[in-house]
Amino acid sequence: MKEFPKSGVGLGRHLIIEIYDCDPLVLDSINHIKGVLIDAAKATNSTVLWHKFHKFSPQGVTGVVVVAESHLSIHTWPEYGYAAIDVFTCGSNTDPWKALEILKGAFKPKRISVLEIKRGLLAENEED
């Protein structure tokens, strides 16, 4: 069995993104959101495999773009001007931070929070 990379070098990077104070009409447009997430996936240098989006009634959109290198997902609450977005990419040829610029430009949040989690790391105190 192949070993996990040593500490500091992971298998992937996962951005947990929260955007606030966005235009409710933008956050409720399934076509806009679908285009933005696909563009964001391409910006990370990922290979888009498939996507699925759903429009809720009376409002809100959820969706996922599955890429060969992992996924991007979104869930919106237009009534609060809020969206929760995940950008998870694996491999050395992808950069999840490139998606952030696409997302900022498309949703124009007044506030944003980003947490990066490195995936597939050995614990610092784990021994070989």
- Using DSSP's 3-state secondary structure scheme, residue 126 falls into coil
Could you tell me the fold of the domain covering 12-113?
Answer: S-adenosylmethionine decarboxylase (3.60.90)
Taking the model in full, what pTM does it have? 0.88
Q: What is the pLDDT of residue 2?
A: 58
> Which positions are catalytic?
70, 75, 90
Tens digits of per-residue pLDDT, 19-56? 999 999 999 999 999 999 999 999 999 999 999 999 99
Looking at residue 79, the DSSP 8-state letter turns out to be G
Query: What b/e readout covers 8-28, taking b as 16+ CB neighbours within 10 angstroms?
Result: eebebbbbebebeebeeebbb
Query: Taking the domains of the chain in order of start, what are their residue ranges?
Result: 12-113
Task: Tell me: cis bond preceding 96? Omega within 30 of 0 counts.
Answer: no
